[in-house]
Amino acid sequence: MEKKKEAIMQVVILISTCVCIVAVLLICLFLLISGVPAIAKIGPFRFFAGTIWRPDGEIFGILPMILGSLYVTAGAILVGVPIGVLTAIYMARFCPPALYRILYPAVSLLAGIPSVVYGFFGLMVLVPLTRNLFGGNGSSILTASLLLGIMILPTIISVSEASLRAVPQSYYEGSLAMGATHEESVFRAVVPAAKSGILSAVVLGIGRAVGETMAVVMVAGNQARLPAGLLRGVRTLTANIVLEMGYAADLHREALIATGVVLFVFILLTNLLFSLLKRGRRE
């Protein structure tokens, strides 16, 4: 009976894996079939290096959106990664049990908040705050980076904490036995052993930041121009698609799908870089 159950579960797992693979392949096929011909029609150089996006004149240059996505994602990483990793270390190795019972549900709650709620928070709180502190109109790269940095915190904290807790206790105890303090044992023995998991958390956070749409639309300014400073508005690749897909047609629609291809390639390159880093560490 147990063997039958195991065989059934193996079949179920195999089917689930095949469904996931087929879904990814179908997405790739759709993007390639619908997006690559548009790049050929527009011209690769004009599409990737063009600085003007003007659909009514059939001018489709996505360089401002590429740079906008890179700037906003880089800002989110600078904000979210240090805070997220340090919070995970505190929760895993320093946090009192009574406080942990409050922090853990709070982090889980942050993960469940819809993007539009984050966007509304950014629009009503962060935009006026950055406008009053730094000038400008508040809808800027800085505001979008702060908001995305907050949004990726739950992912980084939860994955990093799980990785830290998965480190064998003997690492910590062996460090203590060698005369190290509690802090030294955590940062010199436990954290290095959890580097792979922490790096995974960072990559997942980057994926969340790159793919975020609604919150960025509400706070980034959505100006299809080259970034001109942290306090100026910008448009990301995702925002460009969601703002114009509703009324786009013909070459305009194909150009937006091609923008999705670029976004998809960004995610693939991020995952590839992560795989190469993990392989380098193992070697």
Domain boundaries, the chain: 2-49, 66-282
CATH number of this structure's domain 66-282: 1.10.3720.10
Let me know: does 217 contact 242? Beta carbons within 8 Å.
Answer: yes
Residue 143 token pair: 């505001």
Q: Above 70 in pLDDT, residue 19?
A: yes
| Residue type, position 265, single letter | V
**pLDDT computed for residue 154 by the predictor:** 92
**pLDDT computed for residue 172 by the predictor:** 86
Q: Write the secondary structure of 22-64 as one string of H (helix), E (strand) and C (coil).
A: HHHHHHHHHHHHHHHHHHHHHCHHHHHHCCCEEHHHCEECCHH
Best-predicted range by mean pLDDT among 115-119, 213-217, 263-267? 115-119
Neighbours of 4 (CB within 10 A): 8
Nearest to 73 by CA among 146, 125, 124, 129: 146
Query: In whole angstroms, what separates CA 235 from the centre of its chain?
Result: 16
**pLDDT computed for residue 76 by the predictor:** 92
> pLDDT tens digits, residue range 158-204?
999 999 998 888 888 888 888 888 888 888 888 988 888 888 888 88
Reported pTM? 0.85
How does the average pLDDT of the chain come out, rounded?
Answer: 86
Residue 48 token pair: 């990737």
Q: Above 80 in pLDDT, residue 139?
A: yes
How far apart, in whole angstroms, are the C-alpha atoms of residue 114 and residue 23? 25
> pLDDT tens digits, residue range 66-93?
998 999 999 999 999 999 999 999 999 9
Let me know: does 153 contact 87? Beta carbons within 8 Å.
Answer: yes
Let me know: does 216 contact 148? Beta carbons within 8 Å.
Answer: yes
